[in-house]
Structure 1
Amino acid sequence: MPTSSAPTPSTPKGHAPAPKLGVRNTWQRAAIVSVLRDIDKFVSAREIHETLHERGEKVGLTTVYRTLQSLSEVEAVDVLQNKDGESLYRHCLTEHHHHHLVCTICGRSEEIEGGPVEKWAQLVAQRYGYELVGHDAEVFGVCRACQEAQRTQAGER
């Protein structure tokens, strides 16, 4: 475990573990996981459905939603909500509790360990007399590539 208080990537890109498919390993589930593994950002069920269609996979949108829900239940996918409340999904790269650093422009994300977040959540719960049973914390920002693109666009004006 890192000694720094700064969040650190928890899994290097390109070293993702084998997908956790859950109890029922269907071809539709495998196709959806394949799409998620190929995309390096959080995406909506509709985007996954469109990608499946582009690949020639005939998987209904309802099946995509149901499959994502069941994959979420076995923690095979990470889920977060965008600012409009829509659920976004990404293949889970680690087996332990983690948080996400998400680019608000392109959607790219990094899995980060959140030691300081864990400590903070425990302190807040204790301060108000609660027993901590869980928490969700996502960190949003603008990735380097998008920062550079913004600088380039600003320079062109």
Structure 2
Amino acid sequence: MTVRQDMIRQALAEAGTFLSAQDLHARLRSAGHRIGLATVYRTLHALADEGAVDAVRDWGGQTIYRACGTREHHHHLVCRRYGRTVEVPGAVLEEWAARVGRAHGFTGIAPIAEFFGTCADCAASAPPSAGRGQALP
């Protein structure tokens, strides 16, 4: 891992939640790091390709990133309100996707899924309509 990759992965780990490339860049700059936004994007893409960071599209369609908790294939439950994320093992979803794919004549199914909802903490502290359809910061 390069120095920049390590710096970016560490910043994501410290954040503890998903961040956009722009938000991550702003955090790095405010911490005194001299790094360009294009470098942040390139590094995030490389880390995502290696499986070192998770990259998902938020409710508004923007790609957001966070330090990956496991190297095993997994999916995510993401709270729409504050981005709390739970990693879900991929096996059950992959078996289901393969079964559905076979039923329709598909092979080589590679499911990639993110599930957005409201976590229990946010649901308990918010009015019933809060948190629906909102994009993560």
With structure 1 as the length reference, what TM-score do the two structures score? 0.75
Residue 71 (str. 1) matches residue 47 (str. 2): yes
Residue 129 (str. 1) matches residue 105 (str. 2): yes
Residue 97 (str. 1) matches residue 73 (str. 2): yes
Q: 3-state DSSP class of the match of 2:102? A: helix
Q: Is 2:75–2:88's contact at 8 Å kept on the other side of the alignment?
A: yes
Question: For the pair shown, which has the larger CA radius of gyration, 1 or 2?
Answer: 1
Q: How does 1:1-150 map to 2 (within 5 A)?
A: 21=1, 25-26=2-3, 28-150=4-126
The Cα offsets for residues 8-64 of structure 1, whole Å up to 9 and x where unpaired, read as xxxxxxxxxxxxx3xxx12x2222111111122211001101111121111111110
The Cα offsets for residues 109-142 of structure 1, whole Å up to 9 and x where unpaired, read as 1111133211110111100111124111111111
**CA distance in structure 2 between the partners assigned to 1:97 and 1:52 by the alignment:** 28
Q: CA RMSD in A?
A: 1.6
* Structure 2: runs of 5+ lacking an equivalent: 131-137
Q: Is 1:77–1:90's contact at 8 Å kept on the other side of the alignment?
A: yes
With structure 2 as the length reference, what TM-score do the two structures score? 0.86
Structure 1: 4+ residue segments shifted above 6 A? none
- For 1:69, the aligned partner's letter is H
- For 1:64, the aligned partner's letter is V
**CA distance in structure 2 between the partners assigned to 1:147 and 1:99 by the alignment:** 22
**CA distance in structure 2 between the partners assigned to 1:102 and 1:110 by the alignment:** 7
Q: Is 1:100–1:112's contact at 8 Å kept on the other side of the alignment?
A: yes
CA displacement at 1:150 relative to structure 2: 0.5
- Aligned pair count reads 128
Aligned identity (percent) is 38
**CA distance in structure 2 between the partners assigned to 1:38 and 1:144 by the alignment:** 23
Q: 3-state DSSP class of the match of 2:126? A: helix
**CA distance in structure 2 between the partners assigned to 1:83 and 1:145 by the alignment:** 19
